[in-house]
Amino acid sequence: MVKFIAEYQVLIFALVKILIMLGFFLNLAPVLVFVERRQAALIQDRVGPNRAVVKVPGFLLKGALATPALLAGVAVAALCFKFFPANPPETGVGRGFWMAELATLVLWSHALVLAGYVRVSGDAANPLEAALRDMRDPRWIFYTGGFLHLALGVLYGASSPANEAEVSKAFALGGPAALAGVLLLVAAYLGYRIPSGTVELRAAGLLHSIADALKFAFKEDFVPPKADKLLHSLGPLISLFPALVTYAIIPFGDALCFGTTNGALDVTKLAETASTVGACAEGQQAVSLQIADLNIGVLYLFAMGGTGIIGAALAGWSSDNKWSLLGGLRAASQMVSYEVAMGLSLVGAFMVYGTPRLGEMVRWQAENTWGIFVQPLAFFLFFAAAIAEQKRTPFDAPEGESEIIAGYFVEYSSFKFAMFYTGEYIELVTSSALLVTIFLGGWTMPFLHRDAVHVAFGDTVLLHSQMSHLVATLLGVGIFFGKVLSMSFFQIFLRWTLPRFRYDQIMAFGWKFMLPAVIANIVLTGLLVLGASSAGPSVASGLRLAADATGFIVIGASAFLAVKFARLLLSPVERARFTSSGVAARVGRVGRTPETPMQA
């Protein structure tokens, strides 16, 4: 087995990476369909899709929800006390501190969820739940949690040399124990609280996407009688193709460094700490978390993305339908127009980063600052062009439901329609991933370095905490996928906010505004890059300070949004009752609009 892995490890790594990316992108497509419907409903004050229901036996649900917590608890306990024990305690104090913070977070967030549940449903199963239900203001759970976080931080930071040994020991042993204990407690409580009978699982409407996918698979595949059979079938294939191949060049994490045996990469020798210069230290080999690290980089993306036009145009032409022909024409002209602006908008980024490779672009951003701060104009131009390329609102004239029904895919049914549909959402994810990689720092966050959390402004170090190579890399992967999710979420918000441009407005915007703007951006960037590279060291150190400041801006903005979100979640609701009609008076007498079980 080990020999087999050693022999084919390049292939195995490639397959694993393809599986990760394919899993992420393909699963995100139905999730985004769900998100889009949910947003549409809730923005318009509707309930939205919530009818699809699966009846699950309680024990299955118990297993599905409690097992991960159980496994995580056991894993924490096993890893910290059996395999990587903190001996002497000084080595594990940082780890213990973060685990204690995590345990606190899990504890108060679960308490808050439980309090919310019992306060809504009203049925408390034990005195604890009754206390949660009857407490005056559940916001105190949140405040207490925040206080505990702070108290732990103060305890950790203020350990004097006199009591340092005790504090180290307490954190090194107490942290993992607390985290494992809390996770096991959560698992046990889930097992205890989820009802044993049949549970109706609605997953907030997520099942509708799955039902739709199933429905597509079983629908009749109708081809118009006078359509070109071959081209009609090729259309969705060519349309889906670029969406599925472009993610091959998107790096989803930092390179993993492995030691070598006899000059060959050895998977059992994962590096303890990462080198801060270059990809890996001497004598180590890197496995980049990117399916294909092409030297033409982002140009491959434009080459592949360009083929999408053919799919839409073919579909529109071959369907033998005037609406679809109009849609196909619109799609072709729009995508060709915006392809130009999209390509040129990245030239400035090439100049600043000095490379077309996406991985190296992210490394530049990790060392300096996010791309959006050095190329703000290019960010917006690329964003607009990317939306136009995906044919999404406000650039959705090729589909234009109110004018030409569904545009180029009006004559498609069954799974061919699903391919267009899925392709659109995968393109959405791809463009989000590209925006994140080129402009929003990819897998990096400010102050999160390859070896440590290192908060500094100029030469003043504010916080420094070491991390192991594996933790840092996994954190990076999580950050990348999280950023892509948020970006996709934001793009869907755009769809529900902006009305559609008229066709001539789209063309005018593309050729008369976007193109001059991207060319101006290139000239401006060229001048600035030349100026910055020929200026003295004082300018260089000033730029470095500015780069550090952008890190604080990002963290500050994130913290601001997080606090705002928490305030929204915890804000109480006060409403005016309107009981002038007879029906409302009847309802008011009962207390609320009655709920009845479904009939017939």
Instruction: Select the span of 24-32, 67-75, 300-308, 563-571 touching another protein (CB under 8 A).
Output: 563-571
Tell me the torsion sign for CA atoms 327, 329, 334, 335.
Answer: positive
Looking at beta carbons only, is 214 or 585 nearer to another protein? 585
Closest distance between another protein and the C-beta of residue 186, in Å?
19
| DSSP 3-state of 171 | helix
What CA–CA distance (Å, rounded) separates 26 from 594?
41
In the chain the first and final C-alpha atoms are separated, in Å, by 58
Closest distance between another protein and the C-beta of residue 371, in Å?
19
Q: Is 161 in the site for another protein (CB under 8 A)?
A: no
Check: CB of residue 315 under 8 Å from CB of residue 412: yes
Q: Is 587 in the site for another protein (CB under 8 A)?
A: yes
Instruction: Select the span of 42-50, 124-132, 183-191, 194-202 touching another protein (CB under 8 A).
Output: 42-50
| DSSP 3-state of 547 | helix
DSSP letter at 579 equals -
Q: Is 55 in the site for another protein (CB under 8 A)?
A: no
**For residue 192, which phi and psi values (nearest 5 degrees)?**
-80, -35
Closest distance between another protein and the C-beta of residue 589, in Å?
10
Closest distance between another protein and the C-beta of residue 1, in Å?
47
How many other C-beta atoms lie within 10 A of the C-beta of residue 529?
Answer: 15
Looking at beta carbons only, is 24 or 380 nearer to another protein? 380
Closest distance between another protein and the C-beta of residue 553, in Å?
17
How many other C-beta atoms lie within 10 A of the C-beta of residue 7?
Answer: 11
Q: Is 355 in the site for another protein (CB under 8 A)?
A: no
Looking at beta carbons only, is 263 or 499 nearer to another protein? 499
Site for another protein in 356-385 (CB under 8 A): 380
Distances (CA, A) of 340 to 335, 418, 512, 516: 9, 29, 12, 11
Q: Pick the closest to residue 52 from 196, 199, 212, 197 (CA basis).
A: 212
| Candidate residues 1, 2, 11, 120; the one interacting with another protein per rule CB under 8 A | 120
The residues, ordered by sequence, that sit 6+ positions from 475 with a Cβ below 8 Å of its Cβ are: 448, 467
Check: CB of residue 556 under 8 Å from CB of residue 457: no
Instruction: Select the span of 2-10, 55-63, 317-325, 586-594 touching another protein (CB under 8 A).
Output: 586-594
Closest distance between another protein and the C-beta of residue 344, in Å?
20
DSSP β-ladder status, 264-270 and 452-457: unpaired
Helical residues (DSSP H) of 498-593, grouped into ranges: 503-508, 515-534, 537-570, 582-590
Q: Is 498 in the site for another protein (CB under 8 A)?
A: yes
Q: Is 599 in the site for another protein (CB under 8 A)?
A: yes
Looking at beta carbons only, is 420 or 501 nearer to another protein? 501
Looking at beta carbons only, is 226 or 575 nearer to another protein? 575
Q: Is 47 in the site for another protein (CB under 8 A)?
A: yes
Q: Is 558 in the site for another protein (CB under 8 A)?
A: no
Looking at beta carbons only, is 50 or 355 nearer to another protein? 50
| Candidate residues 4, 83, 218, 578; the one interacting with another protein per rule CB under 8 A | 578
Q: How many residues bind another protein (CB under 8 A)?
A: 43
Q: Is 562 in the site for another protein (CB under 8 A)?
A: no
| Candidate residues 9, 39, 144, 414; the one interacting with another protein per rule CB under 8 A | 39
Q: Is 116 in the site for another protein (CB under 8 A)?
A: yes
Sheet holding 253-261, edge to edge: 264-270, 253-261, 284-289
Check: CB of residue 427 under 8 Å from CB of residue 243: yes
Looking at beta carbons only, is 475 or 498 nearer to another protein? 498
Q: Pick the closest to residue 501 from 377, 404, 398 (CA basis).
A: 398
Q: What does the chain come to in residues?
A: 600
The residues, ordered by sequence, that sit 6+ positions from 366 with a Cβ below 8 Å of its Cβ are: 441, 442, 444, 449, 450
Residues that bind another protein (CB under 8 A): 38-39, 42-43, 45-47, 50, 116, 119-121, 380, 493-494, 496-498, 565, 568-569, 573, 575-579, 582-584, 586-588, 590, 592-600
